[in-house]
Amino acid sequence: MGFLAFVLVVLAGVHYYLWRRLVRGTTVPGRGRRILTWTLVVLAGLLLVALIGTRVIPSETGHALAWPGYLWMATMFYLAVILIVLEIPRAVVSIVLGRRARRESNRVIAVPVPAGGPVLAQDVEVALDEGSVAPQVDRRLFLSRTVAAVAGVGAIATVGYGVRTAFGDPVIERVPVRLARLDPRMSGLRIAAVSDIHLGPLTGIRHTERIVRMINGLEADIVAIVGDLVDGTVAELGPMARPLKSLESRYGSYFVTGNHEYYTANGPQEWINELNSLGIRSLRNERVAIEHAGATLDLAGVNDVNGAAVNDGPDMAGALAGRSADRPVVLLSHQPVQVYDAAPYGVDLQLSGHTHGGQMVPFNLIVPLQQPAVQGLHVVEGTQVYVTRGAGFWGPPVRVGAPPEITLIELRA
């Protein structure tokens, strides 16, 4: 409840800031301002429906209502970002306008006086008002409307680009990784890694079919689904997952839980059972031996850290202890941060997801506060970690600066 309250306070603050800049700053009191104010209130309500309503109404109706709410979330975010960036130039221009206004107000204004008539105070006031105040009000209003227009066009263009990217084909990233302990006979073994598919309210079965088709086109030896497959129950999303039955690989398809599997109403076990029926094996703090060309590699998998709250957390010892020290191990672990627990066990390569590569710039700058890597191949405490950006999206159907990804890891001796 504390986190929810924090989120609501933040959203209220952002909407108030947008109201100040986009409504109050660009309009005069009256009907137009009231209409824009209530429009912003309605959009805020749709955002709450998207965040909360889909959990309360897990149906087609709730899913349909999520669309405008999530799109507004992304638009709201980029409006705020662009407006904040423009605060400095806006302030500079305001100062310039203020100085110009003061210069104009100090000018001697000639007041026409009727021949032989007295100079009336109201004549001077009217002349001053017409000569300085009105132009200044017009300039400030023009400045506010210009900034609002720039922010609006920028936000809409950015979100439009992000939607197209999010629903477009994932990028195939081909990544060669050298493992010191890899038997040369195993060199060239290919692992197709995908994470964060996020089957949910805004995706359809074509999303899954496309991912399966692209993975099969890679002709991988192993397929690894590294968590956050779903955002709902089997009853809601089971049909969307069925294309996974068609995944093709020489040595099988494997799955480890992500944090979102623990957010579903019925927990991860029903999905583990469902995936098992589709021919995908879940690695639950365990490992399997992959034999290829007379050599052997250990493929291990651990549960996500969020499972600890329901006594289903990661167990590195259970997955990694007691194995042969002369052969390499590849670990499937949803969150990159788990590498700190994996490194002491001599893990050669950890495959992770979770970060979405930031999903929407500039969130990629915030992710390092929690995770040791955002995307790509890194070395953390002697263990190589590859973080895939994920093939889907969470929340807004928007990806900016972090296109969806399917990774083909090619192991080399």
pTM more than 0.95:
no
Amino acid at 92: V
CB 81, CB 362: distance < 8 Å: yes
For position 210, what pLDDT does the model report? 97
Residue 138: strand, helix, or coil:
helix
Residue 271 tokens read as: 């999905």
What are the residues whose beta carbons fall under 8 Å from the beta carbon of 389, sequence distance 6 or more?
196, 353, 355, 356, 357, 375, 402, 403, 404, 405
Instruction: Give residue 126's pLDDT.
Output: 46
Q: How many residues does the chain have?
A: 413
Q: What is the pLDDT along the chain (413 residues), one digit of tens a residue?
A: 677 788 889 999 999 999 999 999 999 999 999 999 999 999 999 898 888 765 555 555 666 677 899 999 999 999 999 999 999 999 998 888 778 777 877 764 555 555 555 555 454 444 444 444 445 557 888 999 999 999 999 999 999 999 999 999 999 999 999 999 999 999 999 999 999 999 987 888 999 999 999 999 999 999 999 999 999 899 989 999 999 999 999 999 999 999 999 999 899 999 999 999 999 999 999 999 999 999 999 999 999 999 999 999 999 999 999 998 899 999 999 999 999 999 999 999 999 999 999 999 999 999 999 999 999 999 999 999 999 999 999 989 999 999 999 999 999 99
Q: What is the pLDDT of residue 155?
A: 97
The CA distance from 127 to 124, in Å, is: 5
Rounded to an integer, what distance in angstroms lies between the CA atom of residue 71 and that of residue 41? 15
- Of 118, 205, 158, the closest CA to residue 396 belongs to 158
Number of neighbouring beta carbons within 10 Å of residue 152: 16
C-alpha 221/C-alpha 190 separation (Å) is 5
Q: Rounded to an integer, what distance in angstroms lies between the CA atom of residue 111 and that of residue 109? A: 6
Q: To which residue do tokens 């209530």 refer?
A: 38
- Cβ pair 254, 224 in contact under 8 A: yes
SS3 (DSSP) at 27: coil
Cα distance between residue 372 and residue 336, in whole Å? 6
Provide the token pair at 284.
């639950």
Q: Which two tokens stand for residue 14?
A: 């952002």
Q: Tell me, what's the pLDDT at 61?
A: 61
**Cα(212)–Cα(189) distance, rounded to whole angstroms?**
20
The CA-based dihedral angle spanning residues 240, 241, 242, 243, taken in that order and rounded to the nearest 10 degrees: 90
Task: For residue 203, report the phi and psi dihedrals to the nearest 5 degrees.
Answer: -105, 165
On whether the CB atoms of residues 316 and 336 are closer than 8 A, the answer is no
Q: Which amino acid is at 131?
A: G
Q: Give the per-residue pLDDT at 130.
A: 47
